[in-house]
Amino acid sequence: MAKKRITKEVYLKWYEDMLLWRKFEDMCAGLYIQQKIRGFLHLYNGQEAVLAGALLAMEKGDKMITAYRNHVQPIGLGVDPRKVMAELMGKKDGTSHGKGGSMHIFSKEHHFYGGHGIVGGQIPLGAGLAFADKYQGNKNVTLTYMGDGAIRQGAFHETANLAMLWNLPVVFIVENNGYAMGTSVERTANHTDIWKLGLGYEMPCKPVDGMTPEVVYDAMHEAMERARKGGGPTLLEIRTYRYKGHSMSDAQHYRTKDEVKEYQKKDPITHVLDVIKSKKYASEKEVKKIDDRVKALVAECVAFGEKSEFAPADWVYKGVYAQEDYPFITD
Amino acid sequence: MRTIQFREAVCEAMSEEMRRDEHVYLMGEEVAEYNGAYKASKGMLDEFGSKRVIDTPIAELGFTGISVGAAMNGLRPIVEFMTFNFSMVAIDQIINNAAKMKQMSGGQFNIPIVFRGPTASAGQLAATHSQAFESWYANCPGLKVIVPSNPYDCKGLLKAAIRDNDPVIFMESEQMYGDKGEVPDGEYILPIGVADIKRAGSDVTIVTFGKIIKVAFEAAEILAKEGIEVEIIDLRTVRPIDYDAVIKSVKKTNRLVCLEEAWPLGNISTEITYMVQQHAFDYLDAPIKRICTADTPAPYSPTMLAEWMPKLEDLIAAVKATMYKN
Ligand SMILES: Cc1ncc(C[n+]2csc(CCOP(=O)(O)OP(=O)(O)O)c2C)c(N)n1
Ligand SMILES: [Mg+2]
């Protein structure tokens, strides 16, 4: 696929998408405090450019899989955000009918393969999706996301070797947001250049600035083209930052408020808006229109989630097996 | 007597044992600088330093295996899993190495190690974060498995586990860390493999362990108002199991209900049921009942989760069923 030009339309879409993701997550935080969302809740604030750049590089049938910080990726891929919100609220109209919750969003229709709660567990799955594409002669690529913490799991290292050995059409994307819970990258290894982990496998690899979607797009396009043309896997270390705590109960003693502020100066949404303004891609009025649209959509998500009901309790036995009359033990 | 939280009992047990024996160390994710994901190792980095309170990357297989190796070479590791769900990444090292080493080496290498952390559900955390693997580990010869239900038992049993010369799985609960209970000043050790009668009663025996015992206490109070006195046996250890305590109680009450937060197939209740019919068949006045979780992965939504968890009303109904009442 030829490289796309980053046009006015792209910038405007990026702005609207990223703003939606940000406001959606902010709303989730609020709903969590109201106890309408429970369990763990991991927000994507600050990391939006990593997704925006990737989405532009994706073609029809390309796949994505990630960990538990996973509310907005499916939305970016086309899943109805109202259904994602309903899932977060545990409701019947949610993407998993309320069974998966915050850490487990899936959409077969939109090629979003989850939403995984065990750190590193999704990494071999991502390569497996790619294996199946190659096996079936599809020209698709799988984006396999993981955190800076997750790449320390054996699952990555075994998968990296196999993906190279079998030349799989997969891009491994480390979203290096500086921390795995309270553990900074410096404290997890003897070096901080995560991308270099590709070198031992002779996997093409490099660091990428993750605060600007243009840069992410370039790197993604290059890696996905390579994979699509039979050139095998790539490892990208995309350097980004998480603004919020790890989950909702995190006192964040491991970093300073100033550090957070430093990164917020490079905020991807502000950056895109600056481009829009300086290139006069939209008037203030038009930007305001986008803002209002986003606000209204987020409000609709909440209304939809509130209105949807909890699935009947006995749905606990539904959809566990493909075999519909599976004989569960009930006494 | 003074009252402390469950998490403080964990911390005191580890700290006292580390003061006593410099071969003991604590290793796991967020155990040092963060003071433990659930603050169960609060202050330990300050006291013992980073040589002995060791933060790890997210690499359960690696640090579990490294600790088994260290145990083969003179150390007495305490390995914390942030939750036992994540021990699945490391289970090969526990089952194939820690549990087997003594026997395979013809008795040469014992593995004095403790694997500890929270088990089972803790609210709406869904399928991968709500699992109870007590019966999985208990099934494996070579391991011992302890599941305390209050701060007193926790401290005494954790100290015993750390001093034990075999590998011990020690399972706590996120939902117990804040629980308070009486714990004496000074040192005490509780024996591994001994059950405790947490409530004496004459009508029906409830056998249980771990945090779900709270449901048994609730049921007992409600049933007492109806004149039914249940005896609650807290197994405390699920390998080895104190079968004698259970059988003795059943011989007294002639009725047994098992309560367990775990999937039903082949769980601890199943095992208890087998042993009781084997050794107290003639004493039973009613079929044994068990109340466990649903036979499915844990769901997220509150309504489905309530259905999935062992339920108070089911427990009460089961007790009454063994008395042919409703
Ligand atoms: C196998 C496993 N171990 C530990 C955990 C607990 N845990 C959840 S998220 C997390 C940190 C992961 O950090 P990172 O991979 O950098 O992703 P981020 O949260 O920054 O997106 C940990 C330790 C888990 N879910 N699974
Ligand atoms: Mg991270």
Q: Across the interface, which of A38, A120, A311 has its CB nearest the CB of B58?
A: A120
Chain B residues with beta carbon closer than 8 angstroms to that of A91: 301
Residue A199 Cβ < 6 Å to ligand 1: no
Cβ neighbors of A108 (< 8 A, separation 6 or more) are: none
Choose, out of A37, A122, A316, A326, the residue to mutate when testing the contact with B (most B CBs < 10 Å). Answer: A316
Q: Which residue of A has its CA nearest to B83?
A: A118
The DSSP output letter for A320 is S
- Of the listed B8, B17, B29, B60, which one is catalytic? B60
Per-residue pLDDT tens digits for B143-169? 999 999 999 999 999 999 999 999 999
- Per-residue pLDDT, B326: 80
Helix (H, G, I), strand (E, B) or coil at A58: coil
The DSSP output letter for A302 is H
Chain B residues with beta carbon closer than 8 angstroms to that of A189: 57
φ/ψ (deg, to 5) at B244: -60, -45
Mention the CATH class of domain A8-317.
alpha beta
Per-residue pLDDT tens digits for B50-99? 999 999 999 999 999 999 999 999 999 999 999 999 999 999 999 999 99
Q: Across the interface, which of B264, B265, B299 has its CB nearest the CB of A99?
A: B299
Write out the DSSP string of A5-25: P--HHHHHHHHHHHHHHHHHH
Alpha carbon separation from A245 to A74, A230, A250, B114, B263 (Å, rounded) = 22, 40, 5, 31, 33
Q: How far is the CA of A238 from the centre of ligand 1 (A)?
A: 17
Chain B residues with beta carbon closer than 8 angstroms to that of A154: 59, 61-62, 89
Distance to chain A for B244, nearest Cα, Å = 25
Per-residue pLDDT tens digits for A175-189? 999 999 999 999 999
Residue A155 Cβ < 6 Å to ligand 1: no
As a whole number, mean pLDDT of residues B262-287 equals: 98
Spell out the domain ranges in chain A. 8-317
Q: What pTM value is reported for the model?
A: 0.97
| Closest-approaching ligand to the CA atom of B129 | 1
Reported confidence tier of residue B182, pLDDT bands at 50, 70, 90: very high
Per-residue pLDDT of chain A in tens (331 residues, 90 and over written 9): 899 999 999 999 999 999 999 999 999 999 999 999 999 999 999 999 999 999 999 999 999 999 999 999 999 999 999 999 999 999 999 999 999 999 999 999 999 999 999 999 999 999 999 999 999 999 999 999 999 999 999 999 999 999 999 999 999 999 999 999 999 999 999 999 999 999 999 999 999 999 999 999 999 999 999 999 999 999 999 999 999 999 998 999 999 999 999 999 999 999 999 999 999 999 999 999 999 999 999 999 999 999 999 999 999 999 999 999 999 999 8
**Burial (0-12, 13-18, 19+ Cβ within 10 Å), B146:** buried
| Closest-approaching ligand to the CA atom of A151 | 1
What atom of ligand 1 comes closest to residue A176's alpha carbon? 16
Task: Provide ipTM, 2 decimals.
Answer: 0.96
Q: Across the interface, which of A98, A153, A189 has its CB nearest the CB of B300?
A: A98
Q: Of all residues in chain B, what percent carry a pLDDT higher than 70?
A: 100
- Per-residue pLDDT, B295: 98
Residue A111 Cβ < 6 Å to ligand 1: no
- Per-residue pLDDT, B70: 98
**Burial (0-12, 13-18, 19+ Cβ within 10 Å), A249:** exposed
Are residues B128 and A118, on separate chains, in Cβ contact within 8 Å?
Answer: yes
Q: Across the interface, which of B62, B89, B123 has its CB nearest the CB of A39?
A: B123
- Per-residue pLDDT, A1: 83
| Closest-approaching ligand to the CA atom of A103 | 1
Are residues A99 and B301, on separate chains, in Cβ contact within 8 Å?
Answer: yes
Query: Contact at 8 Å (CB) between A128 and A65?
Result: no
- Of the listed B23, B30, B129, B279, which one is catalytic? B129
Q: How far is the CA of A119 from the centre of ligand 1 (A)?
A: 5
Query: Contact at 8 Å (CB) between B221 and B312?
Result: no
Per-residue pLDDT tens digits for B107-122? 999 999 999 999 999 9
Distance to chain A for B31, nearest Cα, Å = 10
Instruction: Give the max Cα distance, chain B.
Output: 60
Helix (H, G, I), strand (E, B) or coil at A83: helix
Q: Please state, rounded to an integer, the average pLDDT across all residues of chain B.
A: 98
Q: Which residues of B touch A (CB under 8 A)?
A: 29-30, 33-34, 37, 55, 57-62, 85-86, 88-89, 123-129, 264-265, 290, 294-297, 299-304, 306-308
Q: Which residue of A has its CA nearest to B304?
A: A313
User: Which residue ranges form the domains of chain B, and what is each CATH number?
Assistant: 3-182 (3.40.50.970), 196-322 (3.40.50.920)
Residue A119 Cβ < 6 Å to ligand 1: yes
